Structure 1
Amino acid sequence: MEKYTSLEILEETPKSSSVFTLRLNRPHRSNALSSEFFQEFPAALSSLDHNPNCAVIILSAKGNNFCAGIDLKALTSLTAGIHTSSDPGRSAEKSRRQIKFMQDAITAIENCRKPVIAAIQGACIGGGVDIITACDIRFCTEDAYFSVKEVDLAITADLGSLQRLPGIVGYGNAMELALTARTFSGSEAKALGLVSKTFGSKADMDEGVRAIAEGIGAKSPLAVTGTKRVMLTSRDMRLNEGLDYVATWNSAMLLSNDLREVSSARLQNRKPSFSKL
């Protein structure tokens, strides 16, 4: 398995499990996002996406905090040399390319066919919010706290929070959170719909999220990956366009061996067993 400096991949036990954990692994920096992260994160997701033994990914973090945002040292490193050109247009084009590179690292969550479930404890600040808003499902501990922090750093958030958060918590709520940069609690995140459930402790969250992931992993992989792709694609479509898209999708995927296996399992009063994707 690949080795990373900012991440680690953990396979759940027993080995028959189809759930893998992708864990942010810079606890000494509260998992602030390093320059290496933006290269390693999409590579790790791609590795899990193409691993036939993986059906569901839990995105978690080592230590007391989920993510403290982008490491300022990394931000300096990533932007070094951008404005060395005497041509403002070329400097701006290089800056745009760098931002797009960082955006793509977060969007890799949505591009991954497998569902990605965020398990959040402690601080989830700035870039951490960018990450979790790209995830398919989100859970947190009661003591977790969140902030769309960028305006306090004289930055317009540019890695996805301003685009994804309104669809999750509503336009007005997202605007207020982004403009004030205020800190809000796990319970408020639940009330806003940012997370589906809060847990009393990290241990409880780890156990609860793992059970949910295992439940999803036991379902038809064609149905699960199809549901993720259709929902993400339909999000940016009008209703009639979304219906047309899913009709086209199911015309190709509906008559699969998975559908026959579900019917057979119900007749035989057993759990269905599906081929790996």
Structure 2
Amino acid sequence: MSEYQTLLVEQVGNVAHVQINRPEKINAMSAAFWEEIITAFDWIDQTDSVRVVVISGAGKHFSAGIDLMMLAGASHKMGSDIGRNADVIRRNVLRLQASFNAVDQCRKPVIAAIQGYCIGGAIDLITACDMRYSTADAHFSIKEIDMGMAADVGTLQRLPHLIGDGMMRELAYTGRAFDGAEAAAMGLVNRTYADHAELMDAVMGLARDIAGKSPLAIRGTKEMIRFSRDHSVEDGLNYIATWNAAMLQSEDMKLAMAAHMSKKSAEFAD
């Protein structure tokens, strides 16, 4: 496992815990963070013994989003030619998008555990996760509109699939803050908890439960959910038929059926 400046990454059993680790900066996402999240998720994707991922923030907050010092530094590099400036900005935005695409495209389920601030780029991050849980008093905001810009790292593309188009537009146009209770009511988070300790205990328990399932079945389920998000029902049905033509022959299915019949837990290979 690599050494990180902005993350703490550890494996506990079959669960990888990725912690944003800049509590003194409210876990703001510096230049190093965007590179390290790709490195971390590449390791997770390639490590078969990791079956589930939990993302959280160290300290009192999940994340205050992109580090404004990083944005200020990028603006100082602009030249006098508008076309060349535009090309630089576009390439930089695509590079940032790749960081959260790595989360979205990870073969393993990714669970976000959110407390305190979850603002701007942090919304982009959690929308790339499979599931989200928070404390009741967590503080959410699509803050980019108040910075004079449109969110550009995934929120506007992924959030409508989670909470619906109309609510997404309200939050994106106004930048208004909302708490964990409202996030749960709109479907952004699955459930809220009284405090951070209770949140982490519940999320880690959920992660262990998922890690006990067939990793091939989990892999196929995530792949089909992601594919169906961006394709027609007919395309999705055709894909799962082709996928399961191979996967229904796996040893995992025999183990799962035997365990179900005997009312015991199955032990699946990585």
2:186 corresponds to which of 179, 192, 206: 192
Report if the CA contact (8 A) 1:148-1:181 is conserved. yes
Q: Hey, what does 2:90 align to over in structure 1?
A: 96
Query: What is the CA-CA distance between 1:254 and the residue it aligns to?
Result: 1.7
Take 1:79 and 1:274, find their aligned partners in 2: how far apart are those partners? 51
Q: Partners in 2 of 1:174 and 1:141 — Cα distance?
A: 21
Deviates more, 1:185-194 or 1:90-99: 90-99
Instruction: Give the residue type in structure 2 aligned to 1:10.
Output: E
- CA distance in 2 between partners of 1:142 and 1:267 (Å): 40
For 1:169, the aligned partner's letter is: I
Where do residues 88-167 of structure 1 align in structure 2 (5 Å cutoff)?
88-167=82-161
TM-score scaled by structure 1?
A: 0.95
Cα separation, 1, equivalents of 2:48 and 2:201: 24
Encode CA deviations 1:22-52: one digit per residue, 9 max, x unaligned: 0000000100100001100011011111112
- Report whether the alignment pairs 1:172 with 2:177: no
Cα distance in 2, alignment partners of residues 244 and 269 from structure 1: 33
Give the count of matched residue pairs: 270
SS at match of 1:9: strand
Q: For 2:151 and 2:263, how far apart are their aligned partners in 1?
A: 52
- Give the deviation of 1:267 after TM superposition: 3.8
The separation in 2 between residues aligned to 1:101 and 1:156, in whole angstroms, is 17
Do 1:11 and 1:20's aligned partners in 2 also have CA atoms closer than 8 Å? yes
**In structure 1, what is the Cα distance between the partners aligned to 2:115 and 2:70?**
23
Q: Residue 20 of structure 1: SS of its match in structure 2?
A: strand
Using the size of structure 2 for normalisation, the TM-score is 0.97
Q: Once the two structures are aligned, what percentage of the paired residues are identical?
A: 43
In the alignment, structure 1 segments of 5+ residues that lack a partner are none
Q: Which residue of 2 aligns with 1:49?
A: 45
- The one-letter code sitting in structure 2 at the alignment partner of 1:135 is C
2: CA distance between counterparts of 1:214 and 1:78? 41
Shift of 1:78: 4.1
- CA drift at 1:134: 0.6
In structure 2, relative to structure 1, the CA distance for the partners of 1:191 and 1:267 (3 Å cut) is closer
Cα separation, 2, equivalents of 1:205 and 1:2: 27
1:76 matched residue in structure 2? 72
Q: Distance in 1 between matches of 2:71 and 2:220?
A: 36
Aligned with 1:213 (options 207, 220, 225): 207
Contact 1:35-1:75 at 8 Å conserved across structures: no
Tell me if structure 2 keeps the 8 A contact 1:150–1:181: yes
